[in-house]
Structure 1
Amino acid sequence: MRMQIGTYLTRRLVEAGISHLFGVPGDFNLSFLEQVEADASLTFVGNCNELNAAYAADGYARTSGLCGLVTTFGVGDLGAISGIAGAYAERVPFVHITGIPPLHAVEGRALLHHTLGDGGYGNIGRCMAEYTVAQARLTPENAVEEIDRVLQACWRERRPVHLQLPSDITHLSIDVPDEPFAFANLQGDAEQVALAAEHIATRLAAARSPVMILDSDADRFGVAGQIAALAERCAIPCVAAAPAKAVLDETAPYYLGGYVGGASRPDIKELVSQSDCVIGIGLRFTEINTGFFTHEIRPEAFINLQAYEVSLAGRSIPAAPVGAVLKALLGQVKPSSRTLPSRPAVSAAALPGEAGDRLTHAALWPRVAHFLKEGDVVVGEAGTSNTALLGTPFPKNTHYIAQPIWGAIGYTLPALFGSQCGSPERRHLLFIGDGSFQLTAQELSIILRHDQKPIIFLLNNKGYTIERLILGERSQYNDIANWRYADLPRAFDRDDKALSLVVETVSELEEALKQAEQADRAVFIEVLLPEMDAPDALKKFGMVVADYDYGPQGPRNASTKKG
């Protein structure tokens, strides 16, 4: 079979399960985008800029599977690179395709636009190699092999990959295989898998107080169902690190809550530190997962099921993928008579705050918890929103999107758009601070252009509150312009599709939530909050960060200065 290179690439993308490509057009990718337009199975979704496109691809991939990102060489690639790096850090897979100058210009070192004007064309590929797990510059000679190789790496590692497509080869015809693309089903080595499962089963049978700690791999590698089955059968309590928020049903009896090292709830902290069998699911000891490295896990008790290997008290068993090991383990373990620890009782007291009171975080988040529904997609921006939502109980089948490791502010608005493109049937709620919103605010126009109907809560506290809590409580560098945020939906959309509200009191918030519940359109709620008000967990976090970043002799806010 003969096929044009760009058409073959679109065919392989579709066969890999990709239906959406996010990005920005540019002269070096237009020939490929013409071929995308001709493929009824692919949709190109234009974004306001390349960074937003990368964030949108990340958000889509978290709820709807593999997707693509399309940029143009140089300026487009570097505009997207922070979003690509964030996806690498958070283990989110998508395929980055960049249209590069014609192959004859690359080989001839032509001094073209979007380059550094020095004849070099390897610099962008070297940049991308730091933040992707596979890269290739396509040519007529290598396209068939390289496209398949790079796609396999993307799914195997659950991280971004990078393809460079010269503008003058997209419409050249080459010989291509008849066989459709299929991802390799990596089952590992059967003996290694059986060995790992046997060791874990033996440890579980002898354990007095086992516990499982989930990280993002539980979601990325699709093993949440197996973990739930294991927890139920063996009466194993489960806790979740921040990247695994809502991966398990938070209403299930085996789920106890979040794990943040020494900053965890006292009963969870004690359970983990005293456990004689701690099973991690892809657990990474980042500062956000460990409360700045205050975790206490007995080394001899720790088992970590990673993507393709198992670590047993420091001994590595390779060629043992997490899914295969859990499947084998479920075939061996027997129901346990252990009693699951009980969670602290939830108070049935009335919601805090009176109707006429000015809104505070103490009054806001309990009402948010009551507003959430089963099946929601909740998106939490770094800082105030994510910190509060990590401590908020979620209903069944809630999906949570956040970026706790990379922590790029402004990520969530485009990620919200991307997620809605893939899951339009689900209700989406975004909680974002004013400072973060200003970084990627343009993407609100794309949300409205596509008639999406999210509920957006814009927390307006006139600046970078998380930064103020760390340092510079009254410093001007933490100030931002105080936009008329609730007017922006109308400015971005001439058809006035959105309902815009401003709330400052408890009663105004409650009325806004009622209107949002009934609205069949996008809802934008600007929530006015006191400048230095914050969830208690964020206030503690600020002091810990200051201690860690600046040391005992470093600067402090006057209100938190020690001794």
Structure 2
Amino acid sequence: MRMLIGDYLIRRLAEAGISHLFGVPGDFNLSFLEQVEAAPSVSFVGNCNELNAAYAADGYARTAGLCGLVTTLGVGDLGAISGIAGAYAERVPFVHITGIPPLHAVESRALLHHTLADGGYGNIGRCMAEYTVAQARLTPANAVEEIDRVLQACWRERRPVHLQLPSDITHLSIEVPDAPLVLEDSQGDAEQVALAAEHIATRLAAARHPVMILDADVDRFGTASLVADLAERGVIACVATAPAKAVLDETAPYYLGGYVGAASRPDIRELVSQSDCVIGLGLRFTEINTGFFTQKIRPEAFINILAHEVSLAGRSIPAAPMAAVLKALLAKLSPSTRTLPARPATGAASAPGQGDDALTHAALWPRVAAFLREGDVIIGEAGTSNTALLGTAFPQKTRYIAQPIWGAIGYTLPALFGSYMGSPERRHILFIGDGSFQLTVQELSSILRHGQKPIIFLLNNKGYTIERLILGERSRYNDIANWRYAALPHAFDREDKALSLVVERVSELEDALKQAEQADKAVFIELILPEMDAPEALKRFGIAVADYDYGPTGPRNASTQTHAQKG
């Protein structure tokens, strides 16, 4: 069987479940994009720039599965690289395809545009190798083997991969296999899986107060339902790190809340520190997950079920993948007679503020919690929004998108675009700060161009409040231009596809939420908030960051020093 190389790549992408490619056209990828244009199985989605395209691919992959990113050599690749690195850090898989100059130019070291004009063509590949799990420069001789190898690695590791496609080979014909590409998770070694499951089952049987700590890999490797079954059968309490927010049903009796080391709720902090069996699920001890490394877990009690292996009190059991181990463990585990820890009572107290009161965070977030509904995709920008949402209980079947590990501000607006593209049947709600919005604002035009209907809350507190809480409360470097944000949907679109509102008072917020519920178009709500107002958790976070980053003799905000002393 013979196919054109570009058509074969498209076929393999489709067989891997990829139906959307985000990106920006450039002369070195146009020959491939012509083939995409003609293909019924894959669609190209243009973005305003390559960074936004990478963020959109990330958002899509979190809710809809594998997708692709298309750029052109040099300027396009480096424009996208922060988004690719973020996906690597957060373990989000997509396929990066970059059009490069023709093979004859590469081999003759021709001095072309989009290069450093030094004849070198390996620099971009070396950059991308740092932030992808597999890479290849395609040629007619290696295309079949390398395309399959790289796609398999993308799926196996749930991280980005990088393919360089020379512009002069897309329309060359090669021999290709008839068999379709099948992406399968490794089942590991049966004996190692059984050994790990036996050890964990024995530990659980003897444990009085076991607890599972979830991290992002539970979502990325599709094991949330297995974890829920294990929690129910074994009567095991569950807590989640920030990257695993809403991976489990937060209304379930076994789910206790979020875990952030010493900054956790007191009952959760005590449960983890005193537990005789702590099971991590892909757990990474980052400063975000541990409250700046303040976790207290007894080493002899700790088991970490990782993507491809299990760590038992420091002893590694290789070839024991998470899904296979959880399935084997469920088969061994007998129902338990333990009782779950009691959760603190949560009263239905009315939200602060009313009528003409100025809008504050204290008034905002309880009303937001009441506005959320089952099945929503909720997206929280780094800083104020993410901090508040991490402390908000979500309804069933909610999906939460944030980037707590990489933490690139501006990520969420393009991620919203990508997620909506992949799952348009779900209501999407974005909470983003004014400073973050200014980094990637162009993608608002893509959202409107494609007729998407998200609800966007723009938190306008006149600058980088999270940075002000760390340092520079009154410093000019934390100031930004105060745009007319609510006017931007009309500037970016000529067809009046969005309802724009400005909210300064509590009554206006309540009215805006009602309008958002009823609107059959995109909704953009600018929330005017006090400059230094923030959720209490964010204020504490700012102090912790300053302590960690600058040391005991470093600079501090006078107001936060006072706050810390009182706390």
Shorter-normalised TM range: over 0.9
CA–CA distance in structure 1, aligned partners of residues 17 and 41 of structure 2? 10
Alignment of 1:261-276 (within 5 A): 261-276=261-276
The 3-state SS of whatever aligns with 2:332 is coil
2:214–2:244 contact (8 Å) kept in structure 1: yes
Spell out, residue by residue over 1:111-139, the C-alpha distance to the aligned partner (whole angstroms, 9 max, x if none): 00000011100000000000000000000
The answer for the alignment partner of 1:333 in structure 2 is 333
Once the two structures are TM-superposed, the CA of residue 343 in structure 1 deviates from its matched residue by 1.1
The answer for the alignment partner of 1:17 in structure 2 is 17
The answer for the alignment partner of 2:121 in structure 1 is 121
CA–CA distance in structure 1, aligned partners of residues 434 and 388 of structure 2? 16
Q: What residue identity is the alignment partner of 2:363? A: A
Spell out, residue by residue over 1:306-361, the C-alpha distance to the aligned partner (whole angstroms, 9 max, x if none): 00100000000000000000000000111111111121111122121121110100
2:242–2:289 contact (8 Å) kept in structure 1: yes
The answer for the alignment partner of 1:136 in structure 2 is 136
Once the two structures are TM-superposed, the CA of residue 560 in structure 1 deviates from its matched residue by 2.2
CA–CA distance in structure 1, aligned partners of residues 355 and 346 of structure 2? 23
The 3-state SS of whatever aligns with 2:262 is coil
Does structure 1 residue 198 correspond to structure 2 residue 183?
no
Does structure 1 residue 344 correspond to structure 2 residue 317?
no
Once the two structures are TM-superposed, the CA of residue 521 in structure 1 deviates from its matched residue by 0.4
Percent identity of paired positions between Structure 1 and Structure 2: 84
Spell out, residue by residue over 1:425-456, the C-alpha distance to the aligned partner (whole angstroms, 9 max, x if none): 00000000000000000000000000000000
The 3-state SS of whatever aligns with 1:500 is strand
The answer for the alignment partner of 1:357 in structure 2 is 357
Alignment of 1:109-188 (within 5 A): 109-188=109-188
Does structure 1 residue 324 correspond to structure 2 residue 324?
yes
The answer for the alignment partner of 2:376 in structure 1 is 376
The answer for the alignment partner of 1:460 in structure 2 is 460
Once the two structures are TM-superposed, the CA of residue 533 in structure 1 deviates from its matched residue by 0.1
CA–CA distance in structure 2, aligned partners of residues 480 and 496 of structure 1? 27
Q: What residue identity is the alignment partner of 2:9? A: L
Alignment gaps of 5+ in structure 1: none
CA–CA distance in structure 1, aligned partners of residues 561 and 328 of structure 2? 54
The answer for the alignment partner of 2:469 in structure 1 is 469
CA–CA distance in structure 2, aligned partners of residues 402 and 30 of structure 1? 33
Answer with 234-243 or 342-351: which moved more: 342-351
2:156–2:185 contact (8 Å) kept in structure 1: no
CA–CA distance in structure 2, aligned partners of residues 488 and 372 of structure 1? 25
Q: What residue identity is the alignment partner of 1:153? A: A
Does structure 1 residue 534 correspond to structure 2 residue 537?
no
The answer for the alignment partner of 2:311 in structure 1 is 311
The answer for the alignment partner of 1:495 in structure 2 is 495
Spell out, residue by residue over 1:264-286, the C-alpha distance to the aligned partner (whole angstroms, 9 max, x if none): 00000000000000000000000
Once the two structures are TM-superposed, the CA of residue 561 in structure 1 deviates from its matched residue by 3.0
CA–CA distance in structure 1, aligned partners of residues 211 and 416 of structure 2? 33
Q: What residue identity is the alignment partner of 2:424? A: P
CA–CA distance in structure 1, aligned partners of residues 164 and 251 of structure 2? 46
Q: How many residues align?
A: 563
Does structure 1 residue 74 correspond to structure 2 residue 110?
no
Alignment of 1:403-552 (within 5 A): 403-552=403-552
The 3-state SS of whatever aligns with 2:534 is coil
Q: What residue identity is the alignment partner of 1:542? A: G
Once the two structures are TM-superposed, the CA of residue 184 in structure 1 deviates from its matched residue by 3.4
2:237–2:255 contact (8 Å) kept in structure 1: yes
CA–CA distance in structure 1, aligned partners of residues 398 and 281 of structure 2? 20
The answer for the alignment partner of 2:258 in structure 1 is 258
CA–CA distance in structure 2, aligned partners of residues 201 and 186 of structure 1? 22
Q: What residue identity is the alignment partner of 2:318? A: P
Spell out, residue by residue over 1:221-243, the C-alpha distance to the aligned partner (whole angstroms, 9 max, x if none): 00000000000011100000000
The 3-state SS of whatever aligns with 1:403 is coil
Spell out, residue by residue over 1:135-171, the C-alpha distance to the aligned partner (whole angstroms, 9 max, x if none): 0000000000000000000000000000000000000
The answer for the alignment partner of 1:221 in structure 2 is 221
For normalisation by structure 1, the TM-score amounts to 1.00
CA–CA distance in structure 1, aligned partners of residues 474 and 488 of structure 2? 28
Alignment of 1:395-406 (within 5 A): 395-406=395-406
Spell out, residue by residue over 1:435-482, the C-alpha distance to the aligned partner (whole angstroms, 9 max, x if none): 000000000000000000000000000000000000000000000000
The answer for the alignment partner of 2:32 in structure 1 is 32
CA–CA distance in structure 1, aligned partners of residues 19 and 323 of structure 2? 26
Q: What residue identity is the alignment partner of 1:74? A: G
Spell out, residue by residue over 1:9-39, the C-alpha distance to the aligned partner (whole angstroms, 9 max, x if none): 0000000000000000000000000011111
CA–CA distance in structure 1, aligned partners of residues 36 and 323 of structure 2? 34
The answer for the alignment partner of 1:230 in structure 2 is 230
CA–CA distance in structure 1, aligned partners of residues 108 and 149 of structure 2? 27
CA–CA distance in structure 1, aligned partners of residues 130 and 460 of structure 2? 36
Divergent runs of 4+, >3 A: none
